[in-house]
């Protein structure tokens, strides 16, 4: 993994745009702010669930976000069983790397390098592995374990981590920031921001938003 380790070291010596550094976790909008709206789905999004689901949950996430990890590991399984596995909700993931931004960008690039159907496996490994990464700041092993969960070899990961792939991540971040997304996790249901003042993202919190949309089905 020489090249990956080298690239990580290089990331700490170069400067990214200030707008990237501004994306910290958590940073919810002020309570008085009106809910934001976004496109529920774009062709370059990674998704989980049926494309014909009546409800789309769009989640802006970061691989280094501890709140995202808690939601993904603790809350998402019950949500998936109730809504995604039953074809009622399609989950759409969008990238917004947060502190440490440069490491999060590499995690994002590795997750997107995996086949689309293995993206979820990479995310799960990265989120579950945060306990390994943060205490020792051992990013290389954490990222490699995430990639391997998605079926990536060290050689494939090396090929994925390039200035070009970082530029693609940065372009998606720029778009998210332009839409007003200020932190992670941030959620939208059918394109409208929800739970913006909440610190709870369990299935019960989403029930209040999603159930009215499913009424009569």
Q: What is the pLDDT of residue 130?
A: 92
Q: What is the pLDDT of residue 198?
A: 86
Q: What is the pLDDT of residue 197?
A: 85
Q: What is the pLDDT of residue 211?
A: 97
- Which domains are delineated in the chain? 2-12+24-214 (3.40.30.10)
**pTM of structure:** 0.85
Query: pLDDT tens string for the chain (217 positions)?
Result: 455 554 555 444 433 333 343 344 444 444 556 789 999 999 999 999 999 999 999 999 999 999 999 999 999 999 999 999 999 999 999 999 999 999 999 999 999 999 999 999 999 999 999 987 877 778 889 999 999 999 999 899 989 999 999 999 999 999 999 999 989 999 999 999 999 888 899 999 999 999 999 986 6
Q: What is the pLDDT of residue 16?
A: 37
Cα Rg of the chain, angstroms: 17
Under 8 Å between Cβ of 45 and 82: no
β-bridge pairing 55-61 and 192-194: unpaired
């Amino acid at each position: 993994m020489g090249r990956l380790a080298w690239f990580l070291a290089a990331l700490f010596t170069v400067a990214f745009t200030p707008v990237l550094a501004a994306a910290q976790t958590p940073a919810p909008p002020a309570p008085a702010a009106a809910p934001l709206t976004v496109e529920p789905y774009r062709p370059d999004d990674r998704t989980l669930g049926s494309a014909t689901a009546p409800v789309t949950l769009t989640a802006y996430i970061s691989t280094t976000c501890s709140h995202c990890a808690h939601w993904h590991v603790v809350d998402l399984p019950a949500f998936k069983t109730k809504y995604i596995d039953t074809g009622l909700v399609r989950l759409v993931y969008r990238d917004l790397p947060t502190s440490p931004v440069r490491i999060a960008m590499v995690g994002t690039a590795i997750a997107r390098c995996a086949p689309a159907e293995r993206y979820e496996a990479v995310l799960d490994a990265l989120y579950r592995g945060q306990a390994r990464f943060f205490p020792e700041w051992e990013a290389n092993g954490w990222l490699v374990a995430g990639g391997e969960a998605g079926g990536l070899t060290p050689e494939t990961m090396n090929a994925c981590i390039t200035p070009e792939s970082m530029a693609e991540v940065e372009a998606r971040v720029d778009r998210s920031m332009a839409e007003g997304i200020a932190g992670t996790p941030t959620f939208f249901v059918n394109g409208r921001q929800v739970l913006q003042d909440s610190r709870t993202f369990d299935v019960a919190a989403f029930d209040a938003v999603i159930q009215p949309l499913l009424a009569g089905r």
